[in-house]
Amino acid sequence: MTSVWRQDPLTASRPALEGELVAEIAAELLASDLNAAPHVIGSLLRRLEGDAVTVRETCGALSPAQRAGQRMLPRLLPLVPSISACFDGLLLDPDDRLTLLVAGLSVTDNVEVLLRATGRAPDELLAGRLNELLAVSHGRFTLCDRRATIWLQHTTSALEIAHAHELLERTNRDLGDEDAALWHRASGALQRIPDAAAPLIEMALALSEAGHADRAFVVATEAAEHADGASCEWARAVAGAAAMSAGCFEDAAERLGPLSDADHALHAKALGIAVVAETNTHGMIAMIDPAEHRPRAADPGRWRDWARTASLAAVACAERGAPHEMRAWLAALREADARAGADGAVRDAAVALCWMLTGEVEAVEPSSGGPFSGTMVRALHAAVRGDIDEGLRILALAHARPTGETDPLIPGFERSPLADAYLAVVEALLRFWRGDVEAARELLGTASVRLPVGIPFAGLGVVLAQRLDIAVHGTPGPLARSLAATLPGGIRLDRLVDSGLSAYLGGAAEQAAIDVTLWHDRGAPEPALGIPGLDEVGPVARRPRVEPPETTRARLLLHRIRTLPESSWRREHDEIAETGRRLTSPFDRARVEALLGSTCLSRGDASAGRRHLRAASRLFEDAGALAWKDAVEARLARLTIALSAQSDPVTEPIAVIRDADPLAASRVAWETLLTEREIEVAMRVASGGENREIATALDVSVRTVEVHVGRLFDKLGVRNRVELAVLAHRTGRVF
């Protein structure tokens, strides 16, 4: 069946165009409170001939869970007004209507099947209305507009549809295609056919292993309609597994939940998938007692199934920052792996990933095979140990030479959309760590229109998409916002860092500092794998993160720049600058250069400040972080204006500007270090104002002014009001 099932027309040759259209539709849906995951919009575009109007109308007819990707799209999409408007006036004679119906229902695109099933001659397919609606070439056929199938099925009786399936069943059987014949027999039946269930289940398994999760779900669901007893349980399990592999966790939980009373062997195989589905549906680790579900018999097969359940549960705990629960599941995993005689095949990959997500990178050296346990874990391990290029090479080799290797942790799901989503998110993260901001953003954007990239690592892909958009455009785009709006239940994103970043790049340093401070007050929640955030403002926290050593070095340099007192600044500036120059990531180095530039300006060294800021601008451009580049360029422009106003007057207008604000250059130089209120206080202190005078002028208490003065002394590295005044006037000179 995997070889004969007709493929959806792909737009892989135009990924940029597809992504732009998905983003456009996503923005319109967000404005209408019809949030839809990008990969759901992409799937609808491919099924609805790329018609944006029809996609929007169809989204309005779907349930919120279907739009979010938590449930599979219906096998037959709804008949919406734009489709009716296209075809309601279409006049077809009975033979042409039957031909189009058969063409739309057929799972193969072999023109011989169409000719035999309808009894038409080849030239009849190329004449009259059929020539306008049906394309035939090189022995293959396709509907010119696949929306016609939706219209036909909604406007055709069940008996007529059953008759079309009967014709297709008979024709495929005559041609020796038993899989296609079985599918049409089951789909067209008006009553249950129990003997069709078992072969349909086998067909669904084959489709799932080939990576066709949506088709596997349809076939397994059809099998469940015809099955009874144990066969029905197997069909539901296969359908649930297919739904899980596509990221449709509500469908998976619905079909796998009732299996707890089923045959123990089936329950053992399905339990791990059910744990993942329940965790992502409800946002918390499924409440399963390992002691209650561990096998009682000595059967190695059941212990291996239990090992996979324990491994998946342990990884889910690690993703969600639950180390205590993770350790309990790892203990169960070690016992299960030993009882199964697996020799670490299941255990090692899960242990390596779990300890990496909790910061214990060196705990286990990954050695498993498969795309998840092997490729992904090895790539992450290499990057976090400091060799990002090796991690990307591992991923590239897997793309170039797919081996079909069985993954011990997720057997049967190696080619699933969910496994591919994990790989895509990891590759985008590694590119971001390496400083290739625009490349990472394009990769993740392309993946998001085909894969559920919001799911991996408890929402890491969503945080990554938003952070990359902000770096390039200054604010999250529609794809990132749609991902955030359609996350599985229970995953909560703390958007304070993102809002702080947008504010900082927009020139609102005070709001940025407030957002980052609030984020720290909430415990600084962040994904298991570290994503560059905002270290230029707010409290300085040196908490460990799971990230490459160079990323950590860059972050610590930013903290060091911010906390150095003026007394040691000139002595340590050159050392910090030289250390920053050894950073290989253009994005990390640019941030260090930018903060060096701002700090030099605040300390009165305009020449060095401008030099660092210009270097930062070029590096941000090289990284593709255009919003950061624009922020630096805007700062340089404001500095130039302020310094020009402070230069020796050559005309009366310039003298007037200078006298109007003699500390304008100081104001610009300090704007990324101080809040707006702190700048106002600093300007008045530099002009000789006393605390009580400042309090009266700003309509605040004297104590509030004292707090502001203490903070700005700390930030500027000065000890008293005299040093502040000297620094302010020195900053205003022309160098």
Q: Which amino acid is at 529?
A: L
Whole-number pLDDT of residue 563: 87
For the chain, the average pLDDT equals 86
- Going by pLDDT thresholds of 50, 70 and 90, the confidence category of residue 429 is very high
- Outline where 106-227 has alpha helix (H): 111-118, 122-125, 128-133, 147-154, 158-174, 178-188, 197-209, 213-226
- Going by pLDDT thresholds of 50, 70 and 90, the confidence category of residue 14 is low
Residues 276-296 have pLDDT tens digits of 888 888 766 766 777 777 777
Average pLDDT over residues 579-602: 94
Residue 370 φ/ψ, nearest 5 degrees: 95, 165
Whole-number pLDDT of residue 361: 61
Residues 104-119 have pLDDT tens digits of 999 999 999 999 999 9
The rounded distance, in Å, linking the Cα atoms of 112 and 119 is 10
Nearest to 318 by CA among 70, 529, 494, 484: 529
Nearest to 383 by CA among 375, 392, 374: 392
Whole-number pLDDT of residue 167: 96
- Going by pLDDT thresholds of 50, 70 and 90, the confidence category of residue 651 is very low
Whole-number pLDDT of residue 12: 42
Asked if residue 479 has pLDDT above 50, the reply is: yes
The sign one gets for the Cα dihedral 304, 310, 313, 317 is negative
The rounded distance, in Å, linking the Cα atoms of 516 and 498 is 9
Residues 236-280 have pLDDT tens digits of 999 999 999 999 999 998 888 766 554 456 767 788 888 888 888
110-114, 174-178, 551-555, 721-725, range with the lowest pLDDT: 721-725
Q: Which residue did the predictor score with more confidence, 264 or 389?
A: 389
Average pLDDT over residues 366-389: 89
Residues 145-189 have pLDDT tens digits of 999 999 999 999 999 999 999 999 999 999 999 999 999 999 999
Whole-number pLDDT of residue 682: 86
Whole-number pLDDT of residue 2: 36
Average pLDDT over residues 19-36: 94
Q: Which residue is associated with the tokens 């965790």?
A: 279
Asked if residue 507 has pLDDT above 80, the reply is: yes
Average pLDDT over residues 553-563: 93
Whole-number pLDDT of residue 202: 94
Residue 141 φ/ψ, nearest 5 degrees: -135, 160
Residues 6+ apart with CB under 8 A from 47: 8, 73, 77, 146
- Going by pLDDT thresholds of 50, 70 and 90, the confidence category of residue 542 is confident
Residue 147 φ/ψ, nearest 5 degrees: -65, -20
Q: Which residue did the predictor score with more confidence, 404 or 198?
A: 198
- Going by pLDDT thresholds of 50, 70 and 90, the confidence category of residue 731 is low
- Going by pLDDT thresholds of 50, 70 and 90, the confidence category of residue 735 is very low
144-153, 208-217, 259-268, 468-477, range with the lowest pLDDT: 259-268
Greatest mean pLDDT among 90-94, 547-551, 702-706:
547-551
Greatest mean pLDDT among 90-94, 335-339, 354-358, 420-424:
420-424
Residues 6+ apart with CB under 8 A from 382: 388, 390, 391, 394
The rounded distance, in Å, linking the Cα atoms of 575 and 557 is 11
Whole-number pLDDT of residue 160: 95
pTM equals 0.86
Whole-number pLDDT of residue 688: 83
Whole-number pLDDT of residue 13: 43
Residues 59-91 have pLDDT tens digits of 999 999 999 999 999 999 999 999 999 998 888
Whole-number pLDDT of residue 325: 87
259-268, 394-403, 500-509, 650-659, range with the lowest pLDDT: 650-659
Q: Provide, for the chain, the percentages of residues in helix, strand and coil under a 3-state DSSP scheme, each rounded to the nearest 5.
A: 70, 0, 30
Cα–Cα distances (Å) from 557 to 516, 575, 583, in that order, read 18, 11, 11
